[in-house]
Each structure stands twice: as structure tokens, then as C-alpha cells.
A and B are shown apart, each in its own frame.
Chain A
Amino acid sequence: MSKNKKRLYRILAAVILFAAASFIPQEGAVRFVRLAVFLCAFGIVGHDVLWRAVRNIAGGQVFDENFLMALATIGAFFVGEYPEGVAVMIFYQVGELFQSYAVDQSRKSISTLMDIRPDYANLVRGNFVEEVDPEEVCVGDIILVKPGEKIPLDGVILEGNTTLDTTALTGESLPRTAKTGDEIISGCINLTGTLKVRVTKEFGESTVAKILDLVENASSRKAKAENFITKFAKYYTPIVVIAAVALALIPPVILGLTGSGFTGALFSQWIYRALMFLVVSCPCALVISIPLGFFGGIGGASKQGILIKGSNYMETLASAEVVVFDKTGTLTKGNFVVTKIAPAADNIAEHELLHAAALAEHYSNHPISLSITKAWEEWLTTNTESEKTTSDAAWKPQTAVNNSADLDTANLFDKGFPAPKDVEEIAGHGVKATFGNHTIFAGNSRLMEREHIAYQEQQTAGSIVYIAIDHTFYGSIVISDEIKPDAQSAITALRKIGVKKQVMLTGDNRQTGEFVAKKLGLDEVYTELLPADKVDKVEHLFSEKSEKGSLAFVGDGINDAPVLARADVGIAMGGLGSDAAIEAADLVIMTDEPGKIAAAIQISKKTLRIVKENIVFAIGIKLLVLVLSAFGISTMWEAVFADVGVCVIAILNSMRALKK
């Protein structure tokens, strides 16, 4: 029989005896029977508390809750309040039952969060596959991961293709695809294919172990609220117990000396009030619910792919006033894409210009060249299918080109990449490629000037490629770092939840930086910064913010470790698979979404609110009941509520932090 069930039966038995005893008259010899039945009920429901109280005193533990409860209830018997003595014990046990249930529940929901721990790994040994503990697998070993299994260790896929469920790590429900040669991360669930994986990190260094370690140890970095409660509990109980003793002795003595004289009734009245003090003196509601609230918040955040390294950071984050972003990799994707195609004349279609550029750039490995080639290939795949059936006038390259530049380039616009007669990369300028009788120039303004081509200058931020065919300007293409799709909404959300200033720091040129900042609506932007300058800027921002507000820095963790460390809270983006990010930051966002920053702040705020509610509620009720008991207004019932009732309510409130 489980502990809780046993307790439940004991409570039920005591309630029945309690009811029976209540029917026995209080007069005559039968009153001893009444006492006996009450004592019996008391013994059934409270024997463990009494026993623990005795044992703990022997061990030198005074002021523990068992001792206080035992003293309060036995005291009630001594002052003749048998029903209350029993009832208090029954209620205490009911409260403990609820509490134990609530703790079990929260432990369970926490362990589901921790469910990412893999239980075994299928180690390949020659022709055999053996199930072993993930900790026994070494770097370089080959493991087999079947569909439906958790990936036990970080590694590289040697054989097989699959889709991976990363929900547990990132909160992202869309599965990812993985193929031979890809790196995979432990903690993901392999959904479709069987994989052969070469292990690249031992278990302790694997992502899953690091995340688990981080979440489990988060409670060792305590928030101010937690430290306050620990200190409070240390003084609260002894003070209340001393107050109880004083209450039992001083008022009756004074009243006895000044007025009616000493009577048994006078003493038992004040002892009764003192006993209520003892019941209220346990700080459990606070001691349990505050860490539980923080743990719930950290757990809830990790469900969404946000790892918070300690409850102290939640506290700081909740008061975030300034958020400083790094640009590349944080607000932008850090890749380069074609963002603008500007043909030189109206009769040149965008895709024609793109094609001309792609033909020239196709043979280069420069990131800008690659992005142009990619854009053209994408255009082809989305347009070749419909092209034959639609009458879309845009796809008439021959006519357009013939009209505009009077070129006979029909064969040039063959959709593939014809081999050029000659390609020349002109360092610092661009590319010159010859196809048949035509030469395409693609490069920066210096290339145009060098070739004496009249061109229209492009004013947009980003890297600009000018294209000319046979010395006739054909148009320009702008390539820029792509802004992340949710960057805009992330910044709006941050402003909404009370972040006063949002700043972007970047090493990029002024035009690009200011463009991104303007587009996203950031308050300030500092460009062309070296890593060391970033620290200086952050220092400067520190001096501008208010005393109470905190400063958070968001980076990708790659080369901004000093700034991450300097900020009140360092947030690293895209932590999945990046050790550097996990190490350097106080808070790691597993996915690439800046929107999670607002989510993290909101979770922190909610958690802090819950914690504060609990502190105010628990201390408030306890003080109120203490005052009421001192004046004899409240009874033992209110006292029990102020102890276990408050505790259960506070726990239930804390568990809200776990939910979204």
C-alpha cells in the first residue's frame, strides 16, 4: 500500500471515531469513554507525527513541524479541547496528504521534462548489436538508432536518412530531416529511418547530458526571493515559538496579578492561543512553494526550447529594461540572399537580369556568387512548370533582350549553365565571363568604373552586384543578410512587455546596420564595431539605464562571449549543437527564433509574479492568523488553515508556473 493511501485510510478511521466520540455526552463517568475514543482517533491519525517528534528531539531537531504539531495537539488535550486536538491532527494529515500529492505531481511533471535522457544505446560490435548504457559508449564507436528511439549520443550519420523530432529540445513540433553525413544531436527522437551513427561525443559531453545537467542544477543558483525565504524560515519559526511561550505565560500572569486572580481557565485560554501560534509557526508553505515555482518556470521554459541556468536569471530577466542584440545570426539569419533585383530598363525582366548574373557568377564560390546562383535555381524550379501553360509576359527573354540591348542572346538564355568560353575573376572587382560573342560583367562599382560602363548607382543597403552585358549596363542586384521571419514580431513583443530600449550592435557597415535597425524599428544602432567595441557600448548602455532595470544581451555565442558575460543576462541564440553558446550564456535559446526572448521574459515575469503572490499570501495569512489568535478571535481551525491550507494553495499556485 502506498504511503498516501495508508495515510488516507488512517484519516478516514480517525474521522469515524471522531464523529462517534462527538455523540458521547461530556458529563458523568461516560466522559472518560469520550476521552478514550478521542485519544484512540488521535493515536490512529497522529502516531507517526508523535513518533517523529520524539525521535527528532532525540536527534537535536527542535522546532521541526512534527514537534510543533505534536505539542499543539497534545496541548489541546491538556486544556480539555479534545475535539480540536484530534481535528487539528486530522487536518494536518489531510494537508500533508494534499501536499504529498501535489509534490508527487510536480515531481512527475518535472521528470517528464527530464524524459529526454536516453536509457540505452545500440552499440555495434562487429556483426553484433548490443544494448548498453549510453555512458559506456566511447567517441568513435558506431551505434544503431532505430525508428522511434531516442538518439542517445551526439554523432554523425554514417548511413541512413530520417526525420527527427526535436520537440523535447527546441519546443519545435515540425520534424527535421537528416541524411548521411549530417550531425545529429542526442535527445532528439528518430522518427522514420534506421541510422548508423558514429559517436562524436561521450555521454557526459553530449547535448542531452548538458541540458539535463543545466536544468537540474539551475536550482543551485538561487534567486533573491529564494534566499530571502531561506533566511526568513530560519528566524520565523524560532520567533513564533518564543512568542508562543511568551503568550502562554506573560498575559495570564499580568491579568492574574491585576484582576481576577489566577484560575485554571485563564491559563488554558492563553495556552490555547499559544498553541495556535505553534501551528502557524511552520514555514513550509514558503519553503516548498518558492523553489517549486522557480523550478516550474525553468521547466516550462525548457519545454519551449529556452534553457535558463538559474532562478536568479529569471529574476533579472523579469526586470529587463534594455535588450541589446547582435545583428548577424541573432536578428538576421547570417546567410546571404538576393533581396532586390533592379533591371536597368523597364523592358528587362527581373529574372533575365538574375539569369545573366547567375551565368557569370556560377563558377565562383564567393558567398555572394552562391546566393545569386541559388536565387536563379529557385526561380527556375518555381517557374519552369507553369511557364509553358501561362501566358505570363515576364518570361520572354529573347524578345526582351533583343529589344533592350540589341543582342542576339537567345541561346544564352538557355535555362542551364552553358560552359563559358572564358571566365576571369578580377580580384576586388568581380567576374568577367564570355559566352559566345557576349561578355557579361558582374561585380561592384569599381568593376563598372574600370570597364568604363555607365551605371546607375544602387542606394539600398547590402552588398550590390552590378551587371553589364557587352559594356551595356543591364541592372543591379542587392544581396543582403536575410532578416529572420520573426525578428519584427519579436521586437514588437518585447516593447509590449515593457522593454524600454532595444539596441543593435553590429560589426557590419553603417548602411546595412541602419537599414536593418530601421526596418525592425530598433531604438538605437551602433555599427562597424569590433568585438571589444561591443563591450564598451554595453558599458555605455549600462550607465544610461535605470538602477532597477536590467540589461540583456542577445548574441549567437560565437564571438561575443565577453559581452554575454558583461550583461546582466547573456542570452545565446541557436544553442542546439553549439557548446560555446551553452557555456557562455546565462540563458540559451535552442532554436533560431528571436521571438523566444519575449517568451523567456514573459515566463520569468509570470514565475516572479507567482513567487511574489505566494510570499505575500503565505506570510500575510500567517501574520493575520497570528494576530487573530493572540486576541482570541480565531480558533485552531484558522490556525490549521494558515499552516497546511496555505501550503497546499501555494503549491497549487506554483504549479501554474510549469504551464504555459
Chain B
Amino acid sequence: MKKVYKLQDLDCANCAAKMEEAVSKIAGVQKASVNFLTQKMTIEADEGEHQRILAEAKKVIKKVEPDCIVLA
């Protein structure tokens, strides 16, 4: 299942690429993409996993770009 989250204050394109890589590495993520231009993150994972993955994604995103907030 695919879920889309809006990313607020995503200001650095390189960071978006780093986030994409980091989020893709979270266990249970089948596919993740971070679109710098539309400021959206798409995560593909099993239905039940999304909540845990989102929490972890928030953490790694904070690490990459501390100002960036995931709106869920």
C-alpha cells in the first residue's frame, strides 16, 4: 500500500535525496521516494507497518534536515 506525506520546509534538494535513501533503508519499506519539488514523500509498505515506518521516517528526516516537518 502506498501512502503520501507532505513535507513542510523541505529546502535542500540534496537533503531530499538523502532522505529518500535513508527512508528506503527503514525495515519494511518496499519503496520510498521524496519529491523535492512537490514536497511530498511516498512510502510503499504493508498496511500494518505504516505507523511504525512513519515514526522512524520522521526521525531520520529530522536528522537530515532538522527544519523539515512531516505532515501526516
Residues in A whose Cβ lies below 8 Å from that of B12: 65, 284
Are B14 and A220 interface neighbours, CB within 8 A?
no
Q: How far is the CB of A230 from chain B (nearest CB, A)?
A: 6
Are B66 and A110 interface neighbours, CB within 8 A?
no
Residues in B whose Cβ lies below 8 Å from that of A64: 14-15
Assembled-state Cα–Cα distance A233/B17 (Å): 10
Is A396's beta carbon under 8 Å from chain B? Answer: no
Assembled-state Cα–Cα distance A253/B35 (Å): 46
Are B63 and A216 interface neighbours, CB within 8 A?
no
Are B11 and A106 interface neighbours, CB within 8 A?
no
Are B33 and A56 interface neighbours, CB within 8 A?
no
**A283 and chain B: residue at smallest CB distance:** B14
Residues in A whose Cβ lies below 8 Å from that of B66: 52, 55-56, 59
Assembled-state Cα–Cα distance A11/B37 (Å): 26
Are B14 and A100 interface neighbours, CB within 8 A?
no
Assembled-state Cα–Cα distance A458/B2 (Å): 60
Are A219 and B33 interface neighbours, CB within 8 A?
yes
Are B37 and A220 interface neighbours, CB within 8 A?
no
Assembled-state Cα–Cα distance A100/B11 (Å): 7
Residues in B whose Cβ lies below 8 Å from that of A106: 37
B8-43 CB contacts (< 8 Å) to partner A: 11-15, 17-18, 31, 33, 35-40, 42
How many interface residues does chain B have, given as a range? 20 to 34
Assembled-state Cα–Cα distance A288/B37 (Å): 9
Is A47's beta carbon under 8 Å from chain B? Answer: no
Assembled-state Cα–Cα distance A288/B64 (Å): 16
Is A295's beta carbon under 8 Å from chain B? Answer: yes
Q: How far is the CB of A247 from chain B (nearest CB, A)?
A: 23
Which residue from B31, B37, B42, B64 sits with its C-beta under 8 Å from A292? B37
The 8 A CB mask of B36-68 against A (1 = contact, 0 = none) is 111110100000000000000000001110100
User: Given A61-B64, A220-B33, do A287 and B13 touch, yes or no (CB 8 Å)?
Assistant: yes
The 8 A CB mask of A243-279 against B (1 = contact, 0 = none) is 0000000000000000000000000000000000000
Q: How far is the CB of A227 from chain B (nearest CB, A)?
A: 11
Is A291's beta carbon under 8 Å from chain B? Answer: yes
Residues in B whose Cβ lies below 8 Å from that of A52: 66
Residues in A whose Cβ lies below 8 Å from that of B14: 64-65, 233, 282-284, 287-288
Q: How far is the CB of A59 from chain B (nearest CB, A)?
A: 4
Assembled-state Cα–Cα distance A288/B36 (Å): 8
Is A22's beta carbon under 8 Å from chain B? Answer: no
Are B17 and A219 interface neighbours, CB within 8 A?
no
Are B13 and A219 interface neighbours, CB within 8 A?
no
Residues in B whose Cβ lies below 8 Å from that of A292: 37
**A288 and chain B: residue at smallest CB distance:** B13
Q: How far is the CB of B62 from chain A (nearest CB, A)?
A: 8
Is A347's beta carbon under 8 Å from chain B? Answer: no
Are B37 and A107 interface neighbours, CB within 8 A?
yes
| Residue of B11, B12, B63 most packed against chain A (CB within 10 A) | B12
Assembled-state Cα–Cα distance A282/B17 (Å): 14
Assembled-state Cα–Cα distance A349/B37 (Å): 65
The 8 A CB mask of A49-67 against B (1 = contact, 0 = none) is 0001001100111001100
Assembled-state Cα–Cα distance A284/B18 (Å): 12
Assembled-state Cα–Cα distance A230/B17 (Å): 8
**B35 and chain A: residue at smallest CB distance:** A219
Residues in B whose Cβ lies below 8 Å from that of A59: 62-64, 66
Q: How far is the CB of B18 from chain A (nearest CB, A)?
A: 8
Q: How far is the CB of B28 from chain A (nearest CB, A)?
A: 19
Is A217's beta carbon under 8 Å from chain B? Answer: yes
A604-618 CB contacts (< 8 Å) to partner B: none
Q: How far is the CB of A42 from chain B (nearest CB, A)?
A: 21
Which B residues fall within an 8 A CB radius of A? 11-15, 17-18, 31, 33, 35-40, 42, 62-64, 66
- 10 example contacts (A-B, Cβ-Cβ < 8 A) are as follows A59-B64, A59-B66, A61-B63, A216-B35, A216-B40, A220-B31, A220-B33, A287-B13, A287-B14, A291-B36
Which A residues fall within an 8 A CB radius of B? 52, 55-56, 59-61, 64-65, 100, 103, 106-107, 110, 114, 216-217, 219-220, 230, 233, 282-284, 287-288, 291-292, 295
Known: A103-B11, A220-B35. 10 other contacts (CB 8 A): A52-B66, A65-B12, A65-B14, A100-B11, A110-B37, A216-B35, A216-B40, A220-B31, A283-B14, A292-B37
3 smallest CB-CB distances across A and B, nearest first, come from A288-B13, A59-B63, A287-B14
